[in-house]
Chains A and B, each alone.
Chain A
Amino acid sequence: MWIVAAFGLATRLPSSPTDIFAPVSTPAQSIFELSLLVLAIAAAIFVVVSGLLAYATAKFRKRRDDDGREPAQVYGSTQVELAWTITPVVIVLVLFLATARVIFTVQDPPRRPGALEVTVIGHQFWWEYQYPGLKVVTANELHVPVGEPTFLTLLSADTDHSFWVPRLAGKTDLIPNHPNKMWIEPREKGVYVGQCAQYCGTQHAKMLLRVYVEAREDFDRWIKEQAAAAQTNDSSSEGRRVFERTACINCHTVAGTAANGRFGPDLTHLMSRETLGSGVAPNTAENLRRWIRRPDDFKPGALMPPMGLTDQQLDAVTAYLVSLR
């Protein structure tokens, strides 16, 4: 009964960075406009039918001075039944046609030659992004240019996941053996957040999404930096030795070194990212060290094991990773 008020309140709360009623991208905008129509129809039906229910409940209650006789027995009426069958049918048809239009515009957009293509691969419990043709592989923080469409190919390395950044587009699942497509076309620069929306295992809750929408020149600069080889400095060679001699390299890649594992996030330009562990903590040297020591402190159930390093080794590895810019 309070639901209408609740809807009203929800639409007027600007404070959420994941509000579906604050679209900044073409598909999200189309959905938003359709949802207004649907909400209006639903609200109108609610007002009429609940009004009738409330009226009947109040008007036809048994009075105190009731004479004890049964009311007139009415068994039905074909006209009335027809009326409340045909009216909903008409409403359904209108709603269906409006829906069909948006399904086609969002789901089957014209392909634009030269548009950015990104392959998104869902992992337990992080995101891998590959920019085919641009030789860029990164993790957890997607960068795209503003004002242009970006087409995403969605794959999964293990279980089902779902890519959901509410202000950019509706969600689409990442399903193993079942490649999916979606697209975004952000209008405003900024960082847009979201998270995995299909239960994928223990740490489903901390599989967060961050999309950086940048001006074209900033995006191009970012691509250039990401495509470059890793920078390694001599002072951290101790850390590099630990990194390459323990199991780290079974799962992680640092381009241009012996590390070419594929199970975990690519670390070539680790320090260019703002967050750690798929968005669970700011990417600082201190957090990085804590993460390496025991990932479960941030994300119990994360698939990265604690490696049992000594304090000295931890310092060295952290120093090495901090140098990966």
Chain B
Amino acid sequence: MSTTDSLGWTGSRIASRPLVDKLHEWVTTVDHKRLGLLYVGYGLTFLLVGGIEATVMRLQLIRPHNDFIGPRAFNQMFTMHGTTMIFFVVMPIIFGFANYLVPLMIGARDMAFPRLNAFSFWLMAFSGLFLYFSFVGGYGLYGAGTAPDVGWFAYAPLTAKTFSPGHSTDFWTLSLLVSGFGSIGTAINIIATVFCLRCPGMTLGKMPLLVWLNLTMAGLVILALSPLTAAQLMLLVDRYLGGHFFDTQAGGSATIWMHFFWVFGHPEVYVLVLPAFAFASEIIPVFSRKAMFGYPVMVAATVAIAFISMSVWAHHMFTIGMSSGANLFFVLSTMAIAVPTGIKIFNWLATMWGGKISFAAPMLFCIAFLFQFLVAGLTGIIQSVAPVDWQLSASYFVVAHFHYVIVGGILFCVFAAFYYWFPKVTGRMYGEALAKVHFWLFVIGFHLTFDFMHIPGLLGMPRRIYTYEPGRGWDTWNLIVTIGVFFQAAGILAFAVNMIRSYSRGRPAGSDPWDAWTLEWSTTSPPPEYNYASIPVVKSRRPLWDLKHPEDPDWKYE
């Protein structure tokens, strides 16, 4: 098979052209696949940056009264780590995958608005660079510049001019404002693409689950990012035009900021986790060799999660002194979201049940995801009980819980997706042995860090402290947590080596290495610029299954 020819933009045709030309093509591209790769590359770069920030914090906390870095630098580290990981790592990566996969999976040739797509990416790209410019602004790198230090949820009135003079908070708020517009642009684009560009025969009920989940994610982005963007504008009005929305010294309200932030912040968790569910929903069936169990129920659960997630935000605020009635409402809504989430776990389990499971790297990451997401969900239930949360809120238990969601849930699925679609994107297979090394290192590191991180929380250790007193019983746990970081870093290194080496030296993958069932596997690897020579026509949710099993096609049963 002549794979070099089918490599398209990585092949010899472009390789012979000058570097400037190639770069120019990447900068001016409006192709959904290239923009997808730009998003993903951008997210991976910032993953390293955010990871370094996390490592610095863990080194500081390795023992009590450590003086590796001071309080100001530490506060900048956790602010930048949180902001970076949410807005400039996970968001770009999931948008990148959505960009790359959604048009391919619905048999389209591009997104609905290719230029809006490019515009959205560059908005996000510049906002991330702008945020990081804060490190060299002001006092420069030596004093960590004017990097923001108000925490990633930037509670008022700490962000007021009185308590945050200078420009550090401005970097934060402007950066999120701009990246918010980029996210809203991408969300509109995904929705328009899914509604308008599906190939003949692909009714809403026959879309791959990945497309359904990303459609729902896009809807949530519009609902959730808008209040955040509004709040950033209000904060700017406070800081520069004499407004008093959040300025408590002039009668403003600190709690209004909390409501604005968390009415974004909680749906945001689902913005990030729905695409992770999407990866699992494509990978688990293929590696179990079975159709997704309960497709309509999975779709219903997804939409239910999206709706309920809009009504749970104040469970981040059980300690701010809401009335008991309000607390009760948010307890119930938060517990309610466990029901559709549980249904999803059961359906994945039922998909594996009776199948023939093979343990290639994508499936390994998905199986670990199922266990870890179960734990993350259960610690979530524990905290939904408001009185228990009065103890656990803002403690290391919370930090452990949401890292269980974001790393143990989302990042594991993202790694699964990387390995699963790597052959499609590059035309080459990744190294399976090194991928397993990555998996085991990361599993060990993850559990060392985030299992043991729950314990200091139960023992009264609050988050966001740059040092702690000896004699609180926190020392050993913090040491173990820090040790885990090095295993995770080694895992990431194995991942990076694998990706880079396989990109040039992997064995040719062919168009359908996993014997999979969705449309993207019917075109070449990597897909040509126009995706499909002729627009495909589908009759079921698994068009390639129908093709491979004409005697027993899906459309007879759906």
Same complex for A and B? Answer yes
Tell me which residues from 337 to 356 in chain B have a Cβ below 8 Å from any Cβ of chain A.
338-339, 342-343, 345-347, 349-350, 352-356
Is B234 engaged at the interface, CB distance under 8 Å to the other chain?
no
Is B46 engaged at the interface, CB distance under 8 Å to the other chain?
no
Give a binary string over A8-39; 1 marks a CB under 8 Å from any B CB, 0 the rest. 01110101111111000000101100110011
Known A-B contacts A20-B459, A199-B151; the reply to A2 vs B451 at CB < 8 A is yes
* A residues near B557, Cβ cutoff 8 Å: 73, 75
B387 with A34: CB separation less than 8 A: yes
Is B471 engaged at the interface, CB distance under 8 Å to the other chain?
yes
**Alpha-carbon gap, A195 to B379, bound state (A):** 23
Is B530 engaged at the interface, CB distance under 8 Å to the other chain?
no
Give a binary string over A176-203; 1 marks a CB under 8 Å from any B CB, 0 the rest. 1110110000000000001111111111
Is B236 engaged at the interface, CB distance under 8 Å to the other chain?
no
10 A-B pairs (CB sep. < 8 Å): A60-B355, A70-B289, A74-B354, A162-B319, A166-B460, A175-B254, A175-B255, A181-B321, A195-B465, A198-B319
A194 to chain B minimum Cβ distance, whole angstroms, is 7
Segment among B92-100, B172-180, B223-231, B388-396 that sits at the interface with chain A: B388-396
B72, B327, B352, B385: most-surrounded residue (chain A CB, <10 A) = B385
Is B467 engaged at the interface, CB distance under 8 Å to the other chain?
yes
Tell me which residues from 476 to 497 in chain B have a Cβ below 8 Å from any Cβ of chain A.
none
**Alpha-carbon gap, A28 to B157, bound state (A):** 30
B297, B367, B390: most-surrounded residue (chain A CB, <10 A) = B390
Is A237 engaged at the interface, CB distance under 8 Å to the other chain?
no
Chain A residues within CB distance 8 Å of chain B: 1-3, 6-7, 9-11, 13, 15-21, 28, 30-31, 34-35, 38-39, 41-42, 45-46, 49-50, 52-53, 56-57, 60-63, 66, 70-77, 80-81, 84-85, 88-89, 92, 95-96, 99-100, 102-104, 106-108, 124, 154, 158-160, 162, 164, 166, 169-173, 175-178, 180-181, 194-206, 208, 300-301
B292 to chain A minimum Cβ distance, whole angstroms, is 8
A38, A56, A172, A199: most-surrounded residue (chain B CB, <10 A) = A199
B352 with A13: CB separation less than 8 A: no
The count of residues in chain B whose C-beta lies closer than 8 Å to any C-beta of chain A is 100
* B residues near A50, Cβ cutoff 8 Å: 371, 374
**Alpha-carbon gap, A202 to B342, bound state (A):** 41
* CB-based closest 10 A-B pairs: A170-B390, A18-B460, A16-B473, A205-B465, A180-B321, A176-B248, A76-B294, A16-B459, A166-B460, A197-B462
* A residues near B346, Cβ cutoff 8 Å: 84
* B residues near A203, Cβ cutoff 8 Å: 71
Chain B residues within CB distance 8 Å of chain A: 70-72, 75, 149, 151, 155-158, 163, 248-249, 251-255, 288-291, 293-297, 319-321, 324, 327-328, 331-332, 335-336, 338-339, 342-343, 345-347, 349-350, 352-359, 367, 370-371, 374-375, 378-379, 381-382, 385-395, 447, 451-452, 454-455, 458-469, 471-474, 549, 552, 554, 557-558
**Alpha-carbon gap, A89 to B296, bound state (A):** 19
User: Which residue of chain A has its CB nearest to the CB of B70?
Assistant: A300
| 20 new A-B contacts at CB < 8 Å, known A199-B155, A301-B71 | A3-B451, A10-B459, A11-B458, A16-B473, A20-B458, A35-B391, A50-B371, A57-B357, A60-B288, A61-B356, A96-B332, A99-B328, A99-B386, A170-B319, A171-B394, A176-B254, A178-B321, A195-B465, A197-B393, A197-B394
* B residues near A49, Cβ cutoff 8 Å: 345, 349, 374
User: Which residue of chain B has its CB nearest to the CB of A171?
Assistant: B319
B507 to chain A minimum Cβ distance, whole angstroms, is 22
CB contact between B253 and one of A124, A171, A177 (< 8 Å): that residue:
A177
* A residues near B253, Cβ cutoff 8 Å: 177-178
* A residues near B249, Cβ cutoff 8 Å: 176
**Alpha-carbon gap, A109 to B165, bound state (A):** 42
**Alpha-carbon gap, A13 to B319, bound state (A):** 26
**Alpha-carbon gap, A108 to B393, bound state (A):** 20
CB contact between A88 and one of B156, B338, B390 (< 8 Å): that residue:
B338
Known A-B contacts A6-B451, A57-B352; the reply to A159 vs B163 at CB < 8 A is yes
User: Which residue of chain A has its CB nearest to the CB of B297?
Assistant: A81
User: Which residue of chain B has its CB nearest to the CB of A302?
Assistant: B71
* B residues near A19, Cβ cutoff 8 Å: 458-460, 473
* B residues near A197, Cβ cutoff 8 Å: 319, 393-395, 462
User: Which residue of chain A has its CB nearest to the CB of B345?
Assistant: A49
A20 with B385: CB separation less than 8 A: no
Known A-B contacts A1-B447, A6-B454, A60-B355; the reply to A177 vs B254 at CB < 8 A is yes
* B residues near A100, Cβ cutoff 8 Å: 328, 331
* B residues near A28, Cβ cutoff 8 Å: 391
Known A-B contacts A46-B378, A71-B290, A178-B255; the reply to A92 vs B336 at CB < 8 A is yes
